[in-house]
Amino acid sequence: MSASAHTDWNPGAYARFRGLRLRPALDLLKAVPSLPSGGVVDLGCGNGAVGQALATLGRPLIGVDSSDKMLEEARKTETYAELLKTDIAGWVPAGAPALIFSNAALQWLPDHSHLLPRLAGLLAPGGTLAIQVPHQNNAPSHRVWRSLMDEHFPGRVDWQAGPSVMLPAEYFHLLSPLGAFDMWETDYYQVLAAEKDAHPVRKFTESTYARPLLDRLAPSEADRLIAFYETVMEKAYPRGGDGQVLFPMRRLFLLLTRPASA
């Protein structure tokens, strides 16, 4: 992940939903076209959840992340030829990769209008930039965290300076001049298991989207925010009789393949 998170990531909390988070990555990988010579970079590799799938490409695989704890878990997968600790916003490869693959990481970085063209420019001729990011900010699961934070703890977060996802049309105008570009969205209807002492959507979002927000609060403040959030989630995503929740999660996919020659 990027260094923009307030503290280091918790691999255990993130891995609880490994299967749900992995499916979009596999769908993105299936869309990657034939690649030229060169290695593969898992940019924002996290705990290495996608490493095994990327290794099937038969290329040297490099994982890049800024979290010591996540890289420690990625190392245990034994699928990476190299793991690099660095801020992925400023990462530069030793050689031009055939594929830069980023699964649910770049949403943590601001200024995509400069970041994505820079990443595309690092590719080998004919190489591909493949990106998947959550596109859920306007859904109750994410929007409510922001509205409650502003209502009860105003001024704690500078939303303008923080990470975000651009509009699809902005990505189109930014990336389509650089090569063969494809973009799509998918809603994944995920069944979240019942939680004993929490709403399932809260447990799902607090390990990722809400984590930097909660890190800015004292424990008692975080408990208050969570209690308010849980109340809203009970109405926005009602639990079934078995405690499970049907949770739609939207993902945005970006696929750019550079020309094979100038």
pLDDT of residue 208: 82
Tokens at residue 126, please? 């004919």
Partnered with residue 181 across adjacent β-strands are 256
Mean of the pLDDT values across residues 21-45? Answer: 95
Mean of the pLDDT values across residues 87-107? Answer: 95
Kindly tell me if the per-residue pLDDT of 201 is higher than 70. yes
pTM: 0.85
3-state class percentages of the chain: helix first, strand second, coil last, to nearest 5? 40, 20, 45
Looking at per-residue confidence, does 2 or 100 come out higher? 100
Strand order in the sheet with 61-65: 82-85, 61-65, 40-43, 99-103, 128-134, 245-257, 180-192
Mean of the pLDDT values across residues 5-28? Answer: 59
Mean of the pLDDT values across residues 163-180? Answer: 94
What is 11-192+248-258's CATH superfamily?
Vaccinia Virus protein VP39 (3.40.50.150)
DSSP alpha helix (H) spans, the chain = 11-15, 18-31, 51-55, 68-76, 112-121, 140-152, 168-175, 200-206, 211-214, 219-236
**C-alpha dihedral, 162 to 108 to 96 to 179, nearest 10°:** -80
Task: Give the length of the chain.
Answer: 262
- Domain regions of the chain by residue span: 11-192+248-258
pLDDT tens-digit series, residues 38-84: 999 999 999 999 999 999 999 999 999 999 999 999 999 999 999 99
pLDDT tens-digit series, residues 76-95: 999 999 999 999 899 999 99
Round to whole Å and give the CA distance between 248 and 237.
10
pLDDT tens-digit series, residues 252-262: 999 999 999 85
pLDDT tens-digit series, residues 226-236: 999 999 999 99
- The mean of the pLDDT values for the chain is 90
Round to whole Å and give the CA distance between 257 and 260.
9
